[in-house]
């Protein structure tokens, strides 16, 4: 009982911090928001080539194999540059933000343990591949830290939000799910960074709608890191973000999603944030479902993600991004409209997700039953690459 009260008060404090500052009510807020994006963008832009240089020197990168079809080693420590850029952006904004640094310091103190642990996990995995169970264990611990710090998902459903324990359990599932989902879509140049950029912008708009300038700034910082990294990661990518970057993006998006539902705890808000995270969540659900249907190990990597399917259907690297970016942007807009109280976007969003789920799943199952795992996908992707080595597209669709 004591733990419940203590954690409840932590949740209340996080919610209070998130809603304390009004949005865009003066020039100082505009300065803070512009600084958040620009500083992060500039630092990430400057840090990425440096990280790439040392990653190449230390031979830390993705090497070609049965699943990764690029012909050369591609450095995969780009997430370090993104984290460094975000930290610099937060530090600058903390001093520029109206009202001083107290609230920012409190927010950082509550987020730091979980985010630092997940970034450390990604970094270790990038340097020395970890087993899936090891990664999942650390992800769960990180999600628990976030929950104990007061970041709890509010679904608006009394059966799930009724007690602190049930709320914590739902939060852990959500945070682990989103961090894993962003990690799963990081299998194609520009995909994870671009989708996360769109989600960050949508969450920034939602934060403004629920009167939380602080959450808007957090998302602009994340957006700045994603935008800068895309300069180097857009097809053909010269560097990958690795697990360091994808795990960082995942937990930050999950934390802000939880915060938005805490500021406005309704079913509508929960549906809205899920729509914004629609593409990574869809790919994750497809991965779980097809592996259960095919009786494959849940943690075994394959070549049957959405970007693999689109590639097998003949889409070019940039066409794949166009399809998935468009889907993410459409769902994000629907999420914003749902938060405003419209009903039709809920129907449209559910319909789009259902059609996409069934369509992709049918192709995935057919591909798996017609040939060994990923064999037809890899073969069809490698054929055009043999004649396109000169344009460096071989780094795409790893």
At 175-228, the pLDDT tens digits run: 999 999 999 999 999 999 999 999 999 999 999 999 888 899 999 999 999 999
CA distance 316 to 261: 38
- What per-residue confidence (pLDDT) applies to 93? 83
Taken as a whole, the chain contains a residue count of 398
- What per-residue confidence (pLDDT) applies to 389? 32
Closest CA to 89 of 253, 217, 234, 257: 217
Q: Is 113 exposed, middle or buried (0-12, 13-18, 19+ CB in 10 A)?
A: middle
- What per-residue confidence (pLDDT) applies to 24? 41
Q: What are 322's two structure tokens?
A: 């166009």
CB 336 within 8 A of CB 269: no
pLDDT tens digit sequence for 218-274: 999 999 999 999 999 999 999 999 999 999 999 999 999 999 999 999 999 999 999
> Residue written as tokens 């640094």?
101
Ranges of residues in the chain with a pLDDT under 70 are 1-29, 64-71, 97-102, 370-398
**Residue-range domain boundaries for the chain:** 2-395
- What per-residue confidence (pLDDT) applies to 16? 54
CA distance 346 to 338: 6
> Residue written as tokens 């795990």?
247
- What per-residue confidence (pLDDT) applies to 368? 75
User: What pTM was computed for the model?
Assistant: 0.88
Close Cβ partners of 46 (under 8 Å, ≥ 6 residues apart): none
CB 67 within 8 A of CB 303: yes
What sign does the CA torsion over 226, 227, 228, 234 have?
positive
Q: Is 9 exposed, middle or buried (0-12, 13-18, 19+ CB in 10 A)?
A: exposed
CA distance 283 to 277: 11
Question: What angle, rounded to 10 degrees, do the helices at 102-127 and 213-233 form?
Answer: 30
CA 183 to chain centre: 7
- What per-residue confidence (pLDDT) applies to 94? 79
pLDDT tens digit sequence for 116-133: 999 999 999 998 889 999
- What per-residue confidence (pLDDT) applies to 11? 60
CB 174 within 8 A of CB 258: yes
- What per-residue confidence (pLDDT) applies to 67? 56
What sign does the CA torsion over 39, 41, 43, 46 have?
negative
- What per-residue confidence (pLDDT) applies to 8? 55
- What per-residue confidence (pLDDT) applies to 41? 97
């Amino acid at each position: 009982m004591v733990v419940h009260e203590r954690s409840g008060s932590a949740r209340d404090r996080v919610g209070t911090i998130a809603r304390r500052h009004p949005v865009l009510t003066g020039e100082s807020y505009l300065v803070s928001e512009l600084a958040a994006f620009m500083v992060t963008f500039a630092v990430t832009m400057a840090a990425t080539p440096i990280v790439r240089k040392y990653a190449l020197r230390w031979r830390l990168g993705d090497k070609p194999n049965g699943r990764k079809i690029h012909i050369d080693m591609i450095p995969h420590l780009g997430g370090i540059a993104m984290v460094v850029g975000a930290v610099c952006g937060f530090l600058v904004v903390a001093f520029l933000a109206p009202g001083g640094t107290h609230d920012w310091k409190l927010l950082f103190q509550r987020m730091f343990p979980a985010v630092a642990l997940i970034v450390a996990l990604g970094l270790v995995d990038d340097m020395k591949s970890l087993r899936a169970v090891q990664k999942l264990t650390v992800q769960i611990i990180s999600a628990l830290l976030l929950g104990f710090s007061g970041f709890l998902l509010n679904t608006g459903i009394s059966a799930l939000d009724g007690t602190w324990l049930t709320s914590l359990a739902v939060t852990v599932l959500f945070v682990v799910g989103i961090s894993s989902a962003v990690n799963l879509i990081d299998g194609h140049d520009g995909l994870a960074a671009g989708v996360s950029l769109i989600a960050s912008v949508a969450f920034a708009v939602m934060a403004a709608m629920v009167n939380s300038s602080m959450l808007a700034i957090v998302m602009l910082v994340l957006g700045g890191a994603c935008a800068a990294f895309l300069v180097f990661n857009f097809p053909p990518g010269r560097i990958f973000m690795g697990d360091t970057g994808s795990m960082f993006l995942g937990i930050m998006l999950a934390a802000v999603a939880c915060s938005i539902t805490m500021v406005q705890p309704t079913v509508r808000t929960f549906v809205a944030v899920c729509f914004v995270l629609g593409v990574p969540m869809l790919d994750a659900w497809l991965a779980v479902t097809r592996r259960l249907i095919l009786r494959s190990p849940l943690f075994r990597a394959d070549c049957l993600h959405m970007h693999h399917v689109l590639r097998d259907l003949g889409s070019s690297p940039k066409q794949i991004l166009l399809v998935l970016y468009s889907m993410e942007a459409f769902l994000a807009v629907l999420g914003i409209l749902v938060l405003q109280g419209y009903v039709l976007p809920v129907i449209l969003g559910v319909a789009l997700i259902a059609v996409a789920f069934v369509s992709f799943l049918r192709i995935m199952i057919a591909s798996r039953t017609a040939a060994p795992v990923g064999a037809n996908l890899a073969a069809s992707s490698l054929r055009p690459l043999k004649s396109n080595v000169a344009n460096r597209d071989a780094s795409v669709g790893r």
